[in-house]
Amino acid sequence: MTMTLPYTEPLVPRKPGERVVPEPPRRGEAGGPPCGICGNKTTSAVWADENWTLHPPVGGSLPGAVWLASRVHVDSFSDLPEPLQADFGRVAARVERAILSLGDVARVHLYRWGDGGAHFHVWFIPRPLGMVEASGMMLPLWEDVLPNVPDEELAAAAERVAAAM
């Protein structure tokens, strides 16, 4: 697998900026804007159970991408109650299998960034079959650079993922 940046070279490395400490508050944490997930400001869930909700993205380029959120407002893995930590593996496997069932998907990448909102959520992003240049850490860069598909197409693909859960 040869990972390739979605930009022509030469790219010029730059130095990191001055550190911002304390960091600005995120959505859903003290001093920050309200939590969008708790406030239902996100896309509607296409699938849910007693612990988790599954949502389509907006403004994306890879149909089949979805994000999974905990029903409980906690920040990260270490904040989830232990039963939910264990249940995450079960549900992540179901999401992965459901995305793979769409076909034309080589692998499902899972990202947990956590820099935007303080409500636990993870991204599942399908790498298109044969798109080896978007392997590994290159996939989110390619996802950003590729033309967006209509949100309705992203939602329809997420509905197909939900149906396969």
- Asked if 63 and 30 touch (Cβ cutoff 8 Å), the reply is no
71 touches Zn ion (CB under 5 A): no
Identify the sign of the CA torsion 148, 152, 153, 156: positive
Q: Measured from the CB atom, is 57 or 126 closer to Zn ion?
A: 57
Of 128, 127, 146, whose CA–CA distance to 136 is shortest? 127
Between 55 and 119, CB nearer to Zn ion: 119
CB closest to Zn ion, residue no = 35
Q: How far is the CB of 58 from Zn ion (least distance, A)?
A: 18
- Of the candidates 144, 139, 104, 142, the one whose C-alpha atom is nearest the C-alpha of residue 125 is 139
x/- map, 6-35, Zn ion, by CB under 5 A? ----------------------x------x
Helices 151-163, 82-100: crossing angle, 10 deg rounding: 110
Nearer to Zn ion, 39 or 150 (CB): 39
- DSSP helix/strand/coil, 55: strand
Per CB under 5 A, which region of 42-50, 87-95, 111-119, 144-152 contacts Zn ion?
111-119
CB of 116 to Zn ion, least distance (A): 12
Nearer to Zn ion, 45 or 98 (CB): 45
CA dist., res. 113 & res. 117, Å (int): 9
Name which position in 27, 71, 73, 160 contacts Zn ion (CB under 5 A).
73
Q: Between 28 and 63, name the residue whose CB sits nearer to Zn ion.
A: 28
Residue 26 DSSP one-character state: P
Tokens found for residue 87? 């249940």
Instruction: Give the interface with Zn ion as residue ranges (CB under 5 A).
Output: 28, 35, 37-38, 73, 119
